[in-house]
Amino acid sequence: MSYCLLACYRLLCAKKQIKMKRFLMIIVIFFFISACEKIMDIPLGHNKPELVVNSLIMPDSVFTVYIGRTQDLSQSFQNGIKKEKNVICSLFVNNSFREILQQEDNKYISSTNLHPQSNNLYLLKIYDPKLGFAQGKAIIPEKTYLSNVSLKIDNYSAPVGDFQPEIYSTVYFTINDNKNTNNYYEVYITQYTKNYHWGVHDTLFWEDASIYIFTDNKTLDAVETGASVLFSDSSFNGEKKNLAFHIQLRSNLVDSIKYIRNMKIHLRTVTKEYLEYKESLLDSYSTVYTGNFSPVSFFSNIDKGLGIFLGYSEDVDSTTFPLSLDTAVFNHQKYFK
């Protein structure tokens, strides 16, 4: 500021032989415009840590729970949060005690190799000697099946400069919605790319990488996270519904497209709580780094703690990418015409 004023003064004096009186006027103006703002630190204070539970269960997977704790804001979070040790994590199934989960690395898993099942009520009771008790309940909704999966290339925009090519496709499928319940769904799609070698040293192994998915179906009232689309059956309850979702293929170079083998469509039947949780994650994502957005209250179904204990079931179908490996020479102008 002072340098700026000094420079300004010398410049004006040299050019116009300005008097000190006028220069003082400029200082007053500058003072008013730029000297107002002051920034001060306010202490954040310390809060008692709380238990953080993360567990998403589905049939055919081993029962797994991650247990951590909230970390004070005055500490840095670059080194990650250590998982809680010495926690007693009891599992109840349909109100009957089943087992105490065993600690393995940074998680707690079923020592009896328990695979969760649909429609069972699971209850987790967690005791930490330092942080106290916390608990949560979860039910896995019944699986909804998808059928008639197909894929169509919509649009191809040629790369400009160093930018990636943009290839948009539409995935079509049918779901058989269960009439007796209010169902919530999550669709996400993975792309399987056969070993594609990029340059001499870099090898791309995109096996089942999730891809960008979105919808223009307004009746679904969908929540788009980028990696998945969540919606409810409120507009088609009990119907056999044909749905379409747009995807953007992953390909960092035009040439890599010919190595894409197939697309896997994952239809998850989730709970309303799952949808709310995902929405709150989406809303708060940017606050982690900028703090500029308004505060977001996270969905949590853990009593006396934070986090989630939720269930879902999943049906997967796949479709072959229209281009076969044998079509060695890839002529995108011709193909996407």
The continuous run of DSSP H or E covering 146 comes out as strand 146-157
Is 145 a residue that touches other proteins (CB under 8 A)? no
**Residues 6+ positions from 161 with CB-CB distance below 8 Å:** none
| Window 189 to 248, contacts with other proteins (CB under 8 A) | 210, 218, 221, 224, 227
Query: Residue 215: phi, psi to the nearest 5?
Result: -140, 155
146 CB contacts (<8 Å, ≥6 apart)? 173, 174, 175, 265, 267, 315, 317
Q: Determine if 294 is a binding residue for other proteins (CB under 8 A).
A: yes
Cα–Cα–Cα angle for 283, 131, 312, nearest 5°? 45
* Region near other proteins per CB under 8 A, out of 119-127, 237-245, 248-256, 300-308: 300-308
Buried b / exposed e along 126-160 (16+ C-beta atoms within 10 A): bebeebeebbbebbbbebbebeebebebeebeeee
Q: Does 307 bind other proteins (CB under 8 A)?
A: yes
Residue 81 or 325: which CB sits closer to other proteins?
Answer: 81
Q: Are 230 and 138 in contact (CB under 8 A)?
A: no
Q: Which of 81, 88, 253, 316 binds other proteins (CB under 8 A)?
A: 81
* CA–CA gap between residue 125 and residue 91 (Å, rounded): 7
Q: What CA–CA distance (Å, rounded) separates 263 from 255?
A: 18
Q: Residues 63, 68, 185, 265: which binds other proteins (CB under 8 A)?
A: 68
**Beta bridge partner(s), residue 24:** none
Q: Which of 201, 297, 328, 334 binds other proteins (CB under 8 A)?
A: 297
Which tokens sit at 230? 């969540």
In terms of CB distance, is 286 or 327 closer to other proteins? 286
Decide if residue 290 touches other proteins (CB under 8 A): yes
Contact status: 54 vs other proteins (CB under 8 A):
yes
Residue 37 binding other proteins, by CB under 8 A: yes
Of 13, 18, 23, 49, the one binding other proteins by CB under 8 A: 49
Q: Which stretch binds other proteins (CB under 8 A): 30-38, 90-98, 234-242, 244-252?
A: 30-38
Tell me whether residue 39 or residue 329 sits nearer to other proteins (CB atom): 39
Task: Pick between residue 31 and residue 133 the one whose CB is nearest to other proteins.
Answer: 31
Q: Out of 14, 33, 200, 328, name the contact with other proteins by CB under 8 A.
A: 33
- Restricted to residues 310-329, the positions that interact with other proteins (CB under 8 A) are none
Contact 146, 267 (CB under 8 A): yes
The residue written with tokens 């080194």 in the block is 79
- Residue 132 or residue 322: which is nearer to other proteins going by CB? 132
Which of 174, 280, 318, 319 touches other proteins by CB under 8 A? 280
The smaller minimum CB distance to other proteins, of residues 38 and 201, is found at 38
